[in-house]
Every structure is written in structure tokens, then in C-alpha cells.
Chains A and B, each alone.
Chain A
Amino acid sequence: MSEVILQDVAKHYGDFVAVENMSLRIADGELVALLGPSGCGKTTTLRMIAGFVDATNGRISVGGRDVTGLPPSRRNMGIVFQNYALFPHMTVAENVAFGLEMRKVSKVDAVKRVDEALARVRLDQYGDRLPKQLSGGQQQRVALARALVIEPEVLLLDEPLSNLDAALRHQMKIEIRQLQQSLGLTTVFVTHDQDEAMSTADRMVLMYKGKVEQVGPPAEVFGRPRSAFAAGFLGIPNLLAGQVTAEGFVLESGMRLALSGQGGLAGRCFLALRPEEIALATDPLPPDSNALPGKVLIMTYHGSSVEYQIATEAGPVLSARVRAPGLGGQPVLPGGTSVWVHWPATAGVLVNEH
């Protein structure tokens, strides 16, 4: 069992609080993604788990063993760095063998395990190469093999995909997930990319300014963001400020919108609307539907969809994402076109400011 428990873990640099009293329990074999913008404390948290940074406060335990004061060399964790950090003066096989050598594994055994580890990441032919002779994706896989060959209790991934191009990133995402599941490895994955986090993680920990903003399975966090920050970070750019009243959601302009089933919040809050939930109409709509008149500011094309920025008369600029004309969507609306943005009463999530 290698359950990781963070108990009131904090890191202060002078007056600056990088991570504030964070408590988190990562189950054995679970992949948890620490997600957030840069400076949110996710990397500091990972580095405290790895032992590169001493926690100012709190305790970290792995599989029931308190590792808080242990140096990284005695924590038995496999780490993949953003820049891979392969030893440039060692061959691929020497890189992978390094951790085994430190563990005094016999030569014969080590050779066998290095071969297995390289085969696992489909690099068995590359043992004699130097890291710089490999592509970014291959280096990434060497880093993974090097971290896995020591049979770590915990795998730590620090933005492992951010140096790869889009196609490779997608492929590695799947590979990492497969490896992690087949090995049943407790894994912490740090990323600023919500898509990476959602597609790999069992649970996401959304962090902001050193604090945990929201924790939960990807579908839950994505479906029900708790705060304006969470909504914004998870790709909901449309936040309408207003009040929840008995009649529905009243915008600052006094306009009343219908709600249905959002629940939970009362008083001042935000209605977060996904661009995909918003439809556009060129003809006026009945006055009591959720519709705001506006003008098209700009259109951006995204292949399967088209995104419009609409300046509403009520004030805020809204993003609406509709199906591309080629796929059966409505014809493209040029800038300046008068439109009505509308959405069903069930659309949108109510979120707090914080």
C-alpha cells in the first residue's frame, strides 16, 4: 500500500505563502492531478512530496511511513521532470540503470530490469544512444522508464507533457495513463492544462494562490465548478454577475433570467455559462426567454466549431460556440451582425466569487 497523505502541509518563503495548510489523501493506485495556473503552489506541493523542498508545516506520509524529514534519496519516489532531466553524459541505458546502481542491484539483474523498462516504453533499441540523440517524446519516455525501473512507491510527474507538440502530447497522455493503471501506481500529476488533468486523473485538485480551490473527479469538477475562478480556469469564460432571487437570476442591469435546477446558492453570485450552451438567433425572441440582444464582435474558427464574441447590450461580452457551417451549423455571422444570445433555463452553473 502506498497511500499518500498530506496533513496541513504548508510552505512559506518569508512572508510569501506558496502553499497554505493543504490536506489531501491520495489513495493507493490513484492518479491525482494538481491543476492550477502558474504560481498556484502545485509544483511546490509536488516538490514537498518529493523532498526537494522542506515543508514549513505539516506532515507527509507514504504508505503509513512519515517521510516529512527524509531526504529525496530515501523516499523511493519516481520523478519525471518537465525538462526530463536526463543525465546528458550517460547513455539511455546508463540513465535508466542509475537508480538501480544506487540500490546496489546486481549487474545482471540491473541489465535485465533496464531492458524491461526500456521495452515497456518501446525504446529497447535505444539503450546505447545519448539523450540528445533522441527526440523530445523519446527523451520523455526514457525519463519515465528511469522513474519506473526503481519500482517507486509513488510516481511524481511535473508538467511532463508541456514540452511536447500537440499530437505527441495526446499520445503520451494515453500512454502515461495506461502505464499508471497497469502498474497500479499512486501518481501525482502536476499540470496547468485542464484537458491533461481531466483526461488522465482519477481526481483533480484545483489550486489557486496556494490554496485548494476544489477537489473531485474530473466530471464533477468540470460539471459543477464551485467558484468563479474554477469556472474560468476550466474553460467557462462567460460569468454573469447578479443576484439569485425567488424570480430567478437578476443581472446587475436589472434584467431577469430564468433558472432551472441550478440550486445551491443564494444572494450575490455568478451564473457561469459554457460557450457550447449558448445559441445564437438572428430574429428577436420572446421577451421572457433567456435571451440577451447583442452584436457580433469577432468570429474565430476552430474546425468543428465556430466561436463568436458577442457584446451584449446588458454589458458583458459573451463567448458562444456553435457548430461550424460545414457540419450543419448556421451560416457564419459577420462582425457587427445583431444577434440574440439565448440558452435554456437549465444551462449554466451558479458559482461563488471565491
Chain B
Amino acid sequence: MSMSDNVAPLARPCAPDPRPRRRIGRPVLTAPALLVVTIGLLTPLALMLRNSFNRFDPTELMISAFTAENYVKFFTDAFYQEVLLRTLGISALSTAICLSAGVPVAYFLARHVSALAKRILLIVILVPLLIGNAVRTSAWMLILNDRGVLASVLGYFGYEGQLGIMYSATAVTIGLVSVLLPFMIITLNSVFEAIDANLEEAGSSLGAGHLTVMRRIVLPLALPGILAGTVLCFILSMNAYATPVLLGGPTFHMMAPTVYQQVAKAMNWPFGSALAFILMSVTLILTVGVSALVQRKYRRWSE
């Protein structure tokens, strides 16, 4: 056997295989997922879209029709717009808190912690996600209510007044941040780990202080990942259900519980569907819009 016979397959692993090979593969293998997405996601969505154009009657419930009245109702009733604005506000606030709290933690984990300690810390950070949503939120109720854990701790230090956190935007935000922060930290941590630490050293050797290195080198490189984490948190909090219901109480309305209330309590499927579509569209437009803006700025090198 000559030398080149020996070496060729090693040197060019992508060389076309001379043997004919049947390519079942990619299209067939995606079929199960495709099927699930079609049946489990697209069909109900289409149905819901159709429902949102139906008419509601208190006695006959849903009447087949093709009307925009559900959407008109949303845009003419200040109550529902307020619900949407509140949802947007709470989501933006929770996401902002997660971002500003998550960046330092994720960066610290990526740069200054040994491998073993990091594994342990990541598990600790993930613990909130291992507990059921309702259970975790109930725990927050026990902590935040006026006779709860926080109140007694503060009372021990001499605080006498009413806490008044429970059933407020504050309580909902605290609850949301506690669920979303792990998502943010995990996403950002992998982003920071992917950034070569040598780049930071190169920056500092060229005369940049810590803050300048962060601002000029780390953050621009982390931006796509920061965006991903932000979008993830924002979407999750826009659609949060248990947290606003349990911590916000009966008078605090956000979109997801309102959809549920319309569909399951008022039995107004058409309006519930319309609300769901509005929630989805607003979330989609905002996240796609922000992503496009950020990515346009950094497409030059990230492609």
C-alpha cells in the first residue's frame, strides 16, 4: 500500500464516499418533531385564531361568525389595555432586574470560580426551577404576607408597620424575578464562558481598566447572548400565570390570568382567544423588534 493511500481518508475526512449510500436521514428524522409541532401547536393556534373572530352569546356561548368585535372590544375598553400595559411594565421591570442581577453573577461564575464550585453553585441556582411553580409561589406567599416570615423577621428588628407587599406589583415582581433569574444566569453564564479570557487580558495589557474592558470588549461580545436571556425572561414573564394569580391576588390583573378567566370562567372563548392573540403578537413584535435592532448593529462580525 502506498503512502498516499494510507493518508488520504485521514487528511480529507469530508471526501465523498465512493460507495453509494442511501440517504434516509435528515428529512425523515425531523418527522416526529414536525408532527408534534403541527398537531400540538399549529392546529390549536389556528383554531384559536378562528375562534377569536367568532361571536359570543351569553346563552349560546360561541357562535360561528367572522367579526372583529373581540379585537374592537380590547382596543375600546381601557380596562384591558391597562392589563396589557401592566403586564408589559411588570415584565420589563422583572427582566431588567434579572439582567442587572444576572450579569455580575454569571460573569463571576464564568471567570472566578473553580470548576467544582461552579457546578455546585449552578445546581443551587437551579433549585428554584426544580420546585413546582405553585409550590414555590405559595412559599413566597408565606414569606411576604403581613404576618409572614419577612414581617416577623422585620418585627424582630423593631419594624412595627404593615408590610403591604402581598397582593401588589412588588410581590408579583419578586415572585417573577425568583423564577426568571436562574434562566438569565444560566444563559449568560454560557455566553461569558464562550468569550476568550485572553481578550480581556489583551485589553487590560493595552491599558484598559476593568470597566473599560467590560464596556468595550466583554459586553459587545456578549450582546447576542444577553439579548437571548432578556428575550427569554421577557417572554416567560409576559405569559406568567401562577405568580400573578397567587401573589397579585384577585384585584391584580395580568394578561395570562385574564385569558384564563375569559376562557374558563366567563366561558367567552372568542374574547379569550383574541386576548391570547394580542398577548402573543405584542410579545412577538417586541422581541423580534429588539432582536433585529441589536443584531443589525452587530451583524458585521457576528455572522
Contact = CB atoms under 8 A, between A and B. Distances in A.
Nearest to A79: B205
Given A77-B205, A102-B208, A102-B212, A85 B199 contact: yes
Contacts of B206: 73, 98-99, 102, 146, 150
B138 to A, nearest CB: 44
A130 interface: yes
B300 A130 contact: yes
B204 interface: yes
Contact of B301 (A52, A89, A99): A89
Contacts of B79: none
Tell me the dominant secondary structure on chain B's binding face.
helix
B205 A72 contact: yes
Contacts of A98: 203, 206, 208, 216
Contacts of B209: 71, 73
Interface in B205-229: 205-209, 212, 216-217, 220-221
Chain A interface, >50% SS class: loop
Nearest to A131: B301
Interface in A58-111: 71-79, 81, 83, 85-89, 98-99, 102-103
Contact of A79 (B201, B216, B220, B302): B201
A74 B205 CA distance: 8
Contacts of B221: 88-89
A317 B298 CA distance: 60
B77 interface: no
Contacts of A50: 201, 205
Interface string A27-39: 0000000000000
A86 B196 CA distance: 10
A102 B207 contact: yes
A132 interface: yes
B198 interface: yes
Contact of A99 (B207, B217, B302): B207
B202 interface: yes
Interface range for A: 20 to 34
Contacts of A130: 300-301
Contacts of B207: 73-74, 76, 99, 102-103, 150
B135 to A, nearest CB: 41
Interface in A156-198: none
Contacts of B216: 98
Given A73-B209, A83-B196, A102-B212, A132 B301 contact: yes
Nearest to B298: A89
A50 B206 CA distance: 11
Contacts of A146: 202, 206
A87 B201 contact: no
Contact of A83 (B198, B203, B204, B220): B198
Interface string B31-57: 000000000000000000000000000
A85 B196 CA distance: 8
Nearest to A90: B301
Contact of B199 (A87, A102, A103): A87
A79 B301 contact: no
Interface string A140-158: 0000001000100000000
**Residue of A74, A81, A103 most packed against chain B (CB within 10 A):** A81
Contacts of A76: 207
B297 to A, nearest CB: 10
A78 B208 contact: no
A89 B295 CA distance: 13
A73 B204 contact: yes
Which of A50, A74, A102 lies at the interface centre, i.e. has the most chain B CB atoms within 10 A of its CB? A102
Contacts of A99: 206-207
Contacts of B208: 73, 98, 102
Contacts of A86: 202
Contacts of B204: 51-52, 71-73
Interface in B161-213: 196, 198-199, 201-209, 212
Contacts of A79: 201-202, 205
A160 B298 CA distance: 29
Contact of A75 (B203, B205, B301): B205
A87 B200 CA distance: 9
B201 A52 contact: yes
Interface string A318-333: 0000000000000000
Nearest 4 pairs of A and B residues by beta carbon: A102-B207, A99-B206, A85-B198, A85-B202
Given A85-B201, A99-B207, 5 more contacts: A52-B201, A73-B207, A83-B198, A88-B199, A102-B208
24 contacts: A50-B201, A51-B205, A52-B204, A71-B204, A72-B204, A73-B206, A73-B207, A73-B209, A74-B207, A83-B196, A85-B199, A85-B201, A86-B202, A87-B199, A88-B301, A98-B208, A99-B207, A102-B207, A102-B208, A103-B207, A130-B300, A130-B301, A146-B202, A150-B207
